[in-house]
Amino acid sequence: MTDTQTPLSAPLAELTTLRLGGPAREIVRCPDTRSIVETIQELDERSEPVLVIGGGSNLVIGDAGFDGTAVVLASSRIEFGSGRESGRSHVVADAGVGWDDLVAATVEAGFGGLECLSGIPGAAGATPVQNVGAYGVEVADILRSVQVLDRRSGNLRWVSPTELGLGYRTSNLKHRNDFVVVAVSFWLNEDRASQPIRYRELATTVGVEPGDRVDAAAARAAVLGLRRGKGMVLDADDFDTWSAGSFFTNPIVDGGDAPAVLERIAARVGADVAIPSYPAGPQPNTSDADAPTAIKLSAGWLIERAGFGRGYPSADAPVRLSTKHTLALTNRGSATTEQLLTLAREVRDGVLDAFGVTLRPEPVFVNCAL
């Protein structure tokens, strides 16, 4: 790197699955952990703003770009082992490993555990940050440990899942930049046994009862098929996949508020319409064991019932809801980030007006806001 750099000349859009966003001052690709540490430390020493990018699948970058240096995690190590502390098999992967590449590698090596998270775009290092989840499995269910760079001390250390505050699509690594994930480790199942198939749609597809286990390769193939049908597997030729995945998280409603919220929804959609809702389990900062159970609602269902159907607003719009999945906001090839945010605000505000439920975005925003 040099001290003299052309301001904002390095395109970032190509590093995101949305293919949106302005340029950075410079882009540095780091092929291993050592180069990640050295590059970030050098940039920090000269007070250069740093944007760390893995797979770019959960990133919304503003049209003005990023006034600093983007550090791309391009590390690629995958190692299998058996820990002395438990005897269980596990895998260690660099943060830059493509997530689905890691899932495929574990299945090919004869293990299970990660298969229900097949097809999720992005890099392995981002998965604990978001506590990524799909088809009845979350990263929290299988995470062994995370290696982070502490930018304040310059040290590398492994942290356990109990230190990460893992919750629904969040952790205490999210929305902070003093820790950078450089490697992750996951527990694996022997004999290519899947995680219990809890998600009914997946159980039906593989022909088992919810809670059963199957061969991980069969579960992976089924998950990939289901995700492709929803436009949730990256395909350069399919604009429905030019997205950040699910743009909004499923809203969680406090147990005490749930009856009124469900009543309002029923008044809008009709009392005879079944409202998808699920127990959300104990919530952070809730100490009252007798408090009513919080519920989780389907964001996609609410969006559609609020009047935003698949493909909204029109076939010629530069940004549309996916034609396959109302939770994905998609770039149809010529959009701007501001156009994406405008549609996101319209959907968010429409759901709030219709049902009194606030949708929260899942992606990380850089130099822009919802």
Q: What is the pLDDT along the chain (370 residues), one digit of tens a residue?
A: 444 445 688 999 999 999 999 999 999 999 999 999 999 999 999 999 999 999 999 999 999 999 999 999 999 999 999 866 677 999 999 999 999 999 999 999 999 999 999 999 999 999 999 999 999 999 999 999 999 999 999 999 999 999 999 999 999 999 889 999 999 999 999 999 999 999 999 999 999 999 999 999 999 999 999 999 999 999 999 999 999 999 999 999 999 999 999 999 999 999 999 999 988 865 555 555 566 789 999 999 999 999 999 999 999 999 999 999 999 999 999 999 999 999 999 999 999 999 999 999 999 999 999 9
- 113 and 150 together in one domain: yes
Residue 2, domain member (yes or no): no
DSSP element (H, E) containing 291: none
Number of domains in the chain: 3
Structural domain boundaries enclosing 329: 239-366
The torsion angles phi and psi of 105, rounded to 5 degrees, stand at: -65, -40
In a domain, 6, yes or no: no
**What's the pLDDT score for residue 292?**
77
What's the confidence (pLDDT) of residue 5? 47
169 among known catalytic residues: yes
- Asked, for residue 35, whether it belongs to a domain, the answer is yes
Cα(106)–Cα(202) distance, integer angstroms: 20
Length of the chain: 370
Same-domain status, 275 and 359? yes
Of the candidates 53, 73, 93, which is a domain's last residue? 73
Residues 121 and 180 occupy one common structural domain: yes
Annotation marks residue 362 as catalytic: yes
Residues 165 and 219 in one domain: yes
Same domain, 209 and 106: yes
Last residue of a domain, one of 181, 197, 229: 229
Is residue 277 flagged as an active site residue? no
Q: Is residue 332 part of a domain?
A: yes
Q: Which of 25, 41, 73 is the last residue of a domain?
A: 73
CATH number at residue 67: 3.30.43.10
- pLDDT value of position 87: 77
Same domain, 175 and 245: no
User: Would you state the pLDDT for residue 4?
Assistant: 44
**Beta strands 133-134; 78-82: pairing state:** unpaired
pTM for the whole structure: 0.91
Mark whether 256 and 334 lie in a shared domain: yes
pLDDT, position 348: 98
Catalytic residue among 25, 144, 169, 192: 169
First to last CA, the chain: 34
Tokens of 294: 């919080």
Name the residue type at position 86: S
CA 307/CA 22 separation, integer angstroms: 32
- Please check whether residues 259 and 184 belong to one and the same domain: no
Please indicate, yes or no, if residue 8 is contained in any of the structural domains: no
Spatial contact of 330 and 319, defined as CB atoms under 8 Å apart: yes
User: Same structural domain for residues 101 and 178?
Assistant: yes
Are 361 and 275 part of one and the same domain?
yes
Query: Considering 118, 145, 171, 246, which one is annotated as catalytic?
Result: 246
